[in-house]
Structure 1
Amino acid sequence: MVAARGGFSRPVFIGGGTARETMMEKHDQAGTGNTLVPGGGRDLDQLKAEVQARVDNQRPPLGGIRSEDARAVLAQIGSLSRDEWATAWSSAAERYFTQAQSLEANDTSAAAEHYWHAWRLHHFARWPVENTPARRHAKQRALEAFRHYAGLLEPPIEVVRIPFEGKEIVAYLRLPANVRPAPIVFAIAGLDSRKEDFLAHSDGYLRRGVGLFAVDLPGTGETPMESAAFDSDRMFSAALDYLATRREVDAGRIVVQGRSWSGYWAAKLAITERARLRGAVVHGGPIHGYFQPQWLQLSLETGEYLYDYFQAKAQLVGVTTVEDLLDRNRRFSLLDAGLLDRPSAPMLVVNGARDSQIPAADIFVLLQHGDAKEAWVNPVGGHMGRSPQWPSQTIFERVVMPWMLRQLQSTPT
């Protein structure tokens, strides 16, 4: 296990803070309009420069997008209109989609690659939340492109539909070809990511003999819940029930992987579903401090989040104003719910000490309660521990994946 230690800091903001009243008014007014709200107070030119820099350095939320595609798209954008941004990125995606269709009959490998890029561009066009017509259109086209891609892989990605409370849970399952029954990583997407983000990089799981099952965060994507509530983890319990019916799956070897907001659900499931899990990765997830009004107010101003942070947070829990967001989020605290002192499955807790989206102090809330846990903290890392020396893929390859493999290969206690 690679370990890093260091002190914890308050959120670091670009452009300084604002008074509470001004902040709340700004976000409330922007909640239903068509003008996106850049993180850290950036203007249009600064935002476009930041987007290009993140693409060039393959930093979230733009990893996988080609630099030349980003330059061409950004050259077409002349305002902060959400629909203008979504339409520009989707136009680039459609060119890949058309090329993929022409390749599919004779070169499935090239077609899959082009569908992947079509998905990736549409996926960013709808980011971080589908709250305008162009973003909603991009969401649908992203799903279409991804499912074309999924069907061309070998082994393919299976679209799973699980009946749930009169609706259905839509998930993906991909299993290694020659491992039966296969151990499973149960992946939960984050606030602005989607289940497709996990399956778009599933080869790294399969070549280690591990299957990947992925669902969206309650209140996002294709989940049957329009907004998240404290008891939304019943959806994940239903998915575990389903996996137990699949003969190709080793239901006795499942690890939950939560990234960012879904780290919250990973931590909760480690407690409530401990008998059915070998472990849970809480990678940059909120536990208690994140849900407190003071932190939420500060975090909305962070420049670490590209744009429309309030809009993504608000839609997740079904509110439209900052005041309602502050009230609704208080109900999610795992500490206040009295869960943290209960026994749990093994946990790996990962984050950066300089995370301005989710307080690194929430790591210690977990460590100070319940069963012993393992932790990895990057003292100079931002959200999810990322830094130039520790980019996302390096953390996954050197910290997260080795830990999950150990849990899947261990003997249950």
Structure 2
Amino acid sequence: MSAADFAAANLSRATGAGLDPHEYLRVTGELPDLDQWGAAFIRAARGHLARAGRAATAISAGEHFQTAARWFHFATLGPNPERALAAAEADTAMGRALALLEPAARRIEGPDFAGRLRGPAGAAATTVVVPGLDSSKEEFHEVIDALLRRGMAVFAMDGPGQGVLAATTTVRADYHHVIGQVADALGVERVGLLGLSLGGYYVAESAAREPRVAAVATVSGPFRLHWDVLPPPVRDLLAQRAGGQEAARRFAAQVDLSALAPRIACPLLVVDGGQDVIPGVTGGEPLARLAPHGQYLHIPHGDHLLGNARPDWLAVAADWLSAALT
């Protein structure tokens, strides 16, 4: 795939994550080939670190650190021999941002997760935001902000094979064990889950098996994966995050909610985009249909993660989670 094609395919994801579209087009437009993706995005991120160092106020510095975290994260999406470094830099930059902008935010880690808890102390509800195969806790700023504005506490996390943990761990299909660790660490009896992309499978699997899950929303989550039909780039990415092709095959075979969907006793909202069609990936409609309390929100023009259709679903999903939990 050419650099231009890869950049175009990720444009709505990048803008949905808060990257300035003009800067994104400028950085990607100067790429001679896709192999330079990581280096170019790391340079852009370091430019924002430099701006933070020159900022006149703590607010401005914090905003630049936050933007740098986004660029470092997106450096991990394309070819990049320094992917682990970029993920670590994204984590560090976000920590520096929140230290200035939200001093009460707390970093919390466990055996299989790392993340940050934001929002008011004593909030009536807590939602855990779970990323997907190659996303991370630094990506979904607008989603997190929408939940925070509704008074919830929000824990944005990386789990096995994700974000800052991708270099040292591999993906696991029994994600409810991870969510159980998170609930223990947060000290909550009820928790909401919002999962994006493969994170949609993770939160649905968790809702079927972890009794503390009180409400769950999925966005562009798979119901089932068919390894032999997946496009080669997706198989390659899954092999990277699973620790090899055979491990990736075994993981894909476990991503199947057919038997688990009827066991999801809590309220469930499934959000899908009509333009999100990846061979080998079954969309979320069967999940909503088979779950006892499932609701389905289909946005015909939405792409994967629906970054091109935020007004059509984000407020709806945030309001729904707030109501379901409080």
Q: Same fold (TM over 0.5)?
A: yes
For 1:240, the equivalent position in structure 2 comes to 183
Instruction: State the distance in 2 between where 1:359 and 1:266 align.
Output: 20
The answer to whether 1:111 aligns with 2:61 is: yes
The answer to whether 1:136 aligns with 2:71 is: no
Instruction: State the distance in 2 between where 1:385 and 1:68 align.
Output: 20
For 1:318, the equivalent position in structure 2 comes to 243
The answer to whether 1:272 aligns with 2:209 is: yes
Q: 2:28 aligns with which of 74, 81, 86?
A: 74
Which protein, 1 or 2, shows the higher relative CO under an 8 Å CA cutoff with sep ≥ 6? 1
Q: How big is the shift at 1:386?
A: 5.6
Instruction: State the distance in 2 between where 1:191 and 1:101 align.
Output: 33
| Residues 175 and 206, structure 1, Cα contact 8 Å, conserved in 2 | yes
| Residues 187 and 256, structure 1, Cα contact 8 Å, conserved in 2 | yes
For 2:227, the equivalent position in structure 1 comes to 293
How is 1:338-377 mapped onto 2 (pairs within 5 angstroms)? 338-357=259-278, 362-377=283-298
- Aligned identity (percent) is 26
Counterparts in 2 of 1:70 and 1:222: CA distance versus 1, 3 Å: closer
Counterparts in 2 of 1:384 and 1:143: CA distance versus 1, 3 Å: closer
- Unaligned 5+ segments in structure 2 are none
| Residues 282 and 349, structure 1, Cα contact 8 Å, conserved in 2 | yes
SS class of match (2:71): helix
For 2:41, the equivalent position in structure 1 comes to 89
Q: State the Cα deviation string for residues 189-243 of structure 1 (Å, max 9, x = none).
A: 1122101224576443223211101211421223487212332431111111122
Q: How big is the shift at 1:180?
A: 2.0
Instruction: State the distance in 2 between where 1:94 and 1:170 align.
Output: 23
Root-mean-square deviation over aligned CA pairs: 2.8
SS class of match (1:146): helix
Counterparts in 2 of 1:366 and 1:67: CA distance versus 1, 3 Å: closer
Tell me the amino acid that sits aligned with residue 219 of structure 1: G
Q: Which has the higher helix share?
A: 2
| Residues 270 and 346, structure 1, Cα contact 8 Å, conserved in 2 | no
| Residues 99 and 114, structure 1, Cα contact 8 Å, conserved in 2 | yes
Q: TM-score, normalised by structure 2?
A: 0.87
Tell me the amino acid that sits aligned with residue 226 of structure 2: Q
Corresponding pairs, count: 324
How is 1:334-413 mapped onto 2 (pairs within 5 angstroms)? 334-335=257-258, 338-357=259-278, 362-385=283-306, 387=308, 391-397=309-315, 399-409=316-326
SS class of match (1:185): strand
| Residues 85 and 125, structure 1, Cα contact 8 Å, conserved in 2 | yes
- Unaligned 5+ segments in structure 1 are 1-37, 245-250, 302-307
For 1:196, the equivalent position in structure 2 comes to 138
Instruction: State the distance in 2 between where 1:125 and 1:180 align.
Output: 36
Q: How big is the shift at 1:361?
A: 5.0
The answer to whether 1:331 aligns with 2:279 is: no
